[in-house]
Amino acid sequence: MSEENKDLGDKAEEAFDKAKDAAKDAAGDAKEAASDFADEAKKTANEFSDGLNKAVGGSENKKILAGILAIILGSLGVHKFILGYQKEGFILLGVTILGYATTCFVIGTFFFWIPGLIGLIEGIIYLTKSDEEFYNTYQVGKKPWF
């Protein structure tokens, strides 16, 4: 029986060594997986950061487009629609159409000049702001007038 116990002890020791080796391998695999996950997370964060920078950089094109359209077609409110202000765009468009409808009266002249003047002023303001200030004020802050 002592020989049997010795064999069982050796077998238990071998099983323990195998389990120990398997645990080391699993820990190594877990470290590798964690490293891969960290690399993937960094890559995703960099992609997000690049996308955010492009969105802010893309606001320059929106700034220039909105500024030029405000100066040229300001009375129609096109620049408001470009910036996503539908209500304000419809207000300017409605006042301009009302001006066209009432041109035979003196009051119609004011309905022409007021939206056009608003567009001119807003276009100049858009074009003189820095890209970051424009983005923060009109796209993030959603400031609809001036």
Annotate 22-61 with DSSP letters as a single string: HHHHHHHHHHHHHHHHHHHHHHHHHHHHHHHHHHHHHHHH
**Confidence class for position 87, pLDDT limits 50, 70, 90:** very high
CB–CB of 118/92 below 8 Å? yes
> CA distances (Å), 112 to each of 23, 98, 103, 116, 118, in order?
81, 9, 9, 7, 11
pLDDT in tens, 34-51: 677 767 767 776 676 666
Mean pLDDT of 59-81: 86
Whether residue 99 contacts residue 111, with contact meaning beta carbons closer than 8 Å, is answered with yes
CA–CA separation, 41 vs 32, rounded Å?
Answer: 14
138, burial (CB in 10 Å: exposed 0-12, middle 13-18, buried 19+): buried
Give the mean pLDDT of the chain: 79
Most confident of 5-19, 86-100, 129-143: 86-100
Q: How far apart are CA 109 and CA 117, in angstroms?
A: 12
Residue ranges per structural domain of the chain: 2-140
Cα 70 from Cα 118, distance rounded (Å)? 8
**Helix, coil or strand: residue 143:** coil
Average of per-residue pLDDT across 74-87: 91
- Confidence check: pLDDT of 123 > 90: yes
DSSP secondary-structure letter at 75? Answer: G
2-36 pLDDT tens trace: 666 566 667 777 777 777 777 777 777 777 776 77
Compute the distance between CA of residue 101 and CA of residue 69 in angstroms, rounded to an integer. Answer: 23
Q: Higher confidence at residue 75 or residue 17?
A: 75
